[in-house]
Amino acid sequence: MSIFKKTEERPRNDSVEGLREMIASAFLPSHVREIALREIELLSRLQSTAAEFSIGMTYIEYLLSLPWNKKTEDILDIARAERILDERHYGLKAVKERIFEHLAVRTLLKNRRASILIVDDEEIARKNLEHLLKKENYAVDTAVNAMKALEKMSASAFDVVISDLKMEKVDGIALLEKIKTRYPHIMVIIVTGYASVDSAVATIRKGAFHYITKPFKLDEVRDTVKEAVEKRFSLVSPKGSVLCFSGPPGTGKTSLGNSIAEALGRKFVRISLGGIKDEAEIRGHRRTYAGALPGRIIEEIRRLQTSNPLIMLDEIDKIGEDFKGDPSSALLEVLDPEQNHSFIDHYLDVPFDLSQVIFIVTANVAENIHYALRDRMEIIEFSGYTENEKVHIGLRYLVPKQIEQVGLSDYPPEFSPEAVMKIIQDYTREAGIRDLERQIASVCRKIALKFVHT
């Protein structure tokens, strides 16, 4: 992407035709592909020296660089997660139990057989899809029209509905609206041979999970249904899926988030929210000028190249607002599971699914968080450590870490519990352990200096 890369990192093929080939070969969601092709058509009518040409090229390159269909598989191993968290973090029983609950739910859902309903007035289309999906071990039922489909949904539970767009009496769009009104948890995939950008965008905005054009590729159908099933199962989780770690500085909130990501096998990124007042930091800037940028959420997902990282939003209690907008309202769309499946960054101007992302937020004082945000969080208090807990953490974690960092691993000094307690009582005044680590580091450096001199 021209404005997001150094000059030497820019792709050599900057031609419109080159981008058209990249779009054709990329595995993009259908609605994203249609929008990208529409942008290509607009660019083909512009002079390459026009400012709009550069803006359009950069936008298409950015769309192509996003991990629309890339994600990291969760490591569903509770014993491994227990080992990682216990090795790196002392206590925190409530937090660890919450992570183990998440793993247990994911494990059960992964082993559940999904139920799919195919709605199409063409018998051959119904039978072909039914045959394909039964081979993938799904429980499959069919309906000849929208009314029959609604009757079956009232009698049986379905996870995914695959519907043709053009049908007599009640078409796919009308069926989609009825499903989202009565059964909002069901994932709906629209299939049609009458593809257009407007119809693709309309179905996505009305709540469709995906939009597939005929004649479709079998791999595309398999992958789309698999993603829809995973999305459906991800909605079934304990309440309070957004964890909020609340407590004073130095109590291990950020490091625990990193360890949780490792335990789950996900990529981790921390985004500091302290002091931001512009909602464009979250939602991005509109593409009206060459310097427009996406929001920080989308940019970090692009950088990590996975659509389901663990994102830690740090210091959420310190965000503000001014004439540039309210970041809290933007974060509400990001964190609310009822909205974030189709989050729209102003720069992208196309829905991006954030429902697979695990969000953990941190705050020093949970009461300072905007009430609408706080209502969607499960707040876990990180109280300050007792002196005995600090001694345990110091001997088990901080002392070995500092000994290694100053090069004393071959000649490790011994720290007694009494010595660590002396440091805590006489040289630190905090609820956390940051100052304790600094003091232990200072002692280790003095020992290293004395060792070298002798």
**CATH value at residue 407:** 1.10.8.60
Which of 336, 366, 381 is the last residue before a domain boundary?
381
CB contact burial 51-64 (16+ within 10 A = b; e otherwise)? eebbbbbbbbbbbb
Check pLDDT > 50 for residue 8: no
Rounded average pLDDT over 328-338? 88
Domain count, the chain: 4
Of 62-66, 226-230, 236-240, 438-442, the one with minimum mean pLDDT is: 236-240
CB 343 within 8 A of CB 334: yes
CB 171 within 8 A of CB 146: yes
- How close are the terminal C-alpha atoms of the chain, in Å? 56
Residues pairing with 360 in the sheet: 243, 312
Residue 108 has a pLDDT of 80
The whole-angstrom separation of Cα 95 and Cα 256 is 9
Average pLDDT, the chain: 85
Rounded average pLDDT over 312-316? 95
Residue 9 has a pLDDT of 45
Which of 359, 381, 403 is the last residue before a domain boundary?
381
Residue 24 has a pLDDT of 76
The CATH number assigned to the domain holding 300 equals: 3.40.50.300
Backbone region of residue 311 per phi and psi (left: phi > 0; alpha: psi in -120 to 50; beta: other values): beta
Residue 156 shares a structural domain with residue 30:
no
The pTM of this model reads 0.70
The whole-angstrom separation of Cα 1 and Cα 54 is 10
The whole-angstrom separation of Cα 129 and Cα 117 is 10
In this structure, what token pair is assigned to residue 254?
Answer: 């950020």
Picking from 283, 305, 279, 304, the residue whose alpha carbon sits closest to that of residue 294 is 283
Check pLDDT > 50 for residue 219: yes
Rounded average pLDDT over 195-206? 67
Q: Is the dihedral of CA 402, 407, 409, 413 positive or negative?
A: negative
CB 46 within 8 A of CB 52: yes
The residue type of 237 is: S
Residue 216 shares a structural domain with residue 249:
no
Check pLDDT > 50 for residue 11: no
Residue 253 shares a structural domain with residue 291:
yes
Rounded average pLDDT over 187-213? 76
The number of C-alpha atoms within 13 Å of 227 and in the hemisphere containing its C-beta is: 24
Residue 252 shares a structural domain with residue 209:
no
Q: Give the structural domain span for 155.
A: 112-234
The answer as to whether 76 is a domain residue is no
The answer as to whether 106 is a domain residue is no
Residue 216 shares a structural domain with residue 183:
yes
Check pLDDT > 70 for residue 13: no
Confidence tier at 241 by pLDDT (50, 70, 90): low
For 19-67, write each residue's pLDDT tens digit.
888 887 777 887 888 888 888 888 888 887 887 888 888 899 999 999 9
Of 80-94, 128-142, 203-217, 289-303, the one with minimum mean pLDDT is: 203-217
Residue 332 shares a structural domain with residue 417:
no
Picking from 357, 401, 348, the residue whose alpha carbon sits closest to that of residue 59 is 348
Which of 354, 381, 408 is the last residue before a domain boundary?
381
For 84-97, write each residue's pLDDT tens digit.
988 888 877 877 88
Q: Which residue has the tokens 């996003």?
A: 66
Check pLDDT > 60 for residue 368: yes
Confidence tier at 10 by pLDDT (50, 70, 90): very low
Residue 50 shares a structural domain with residue 23:
yes
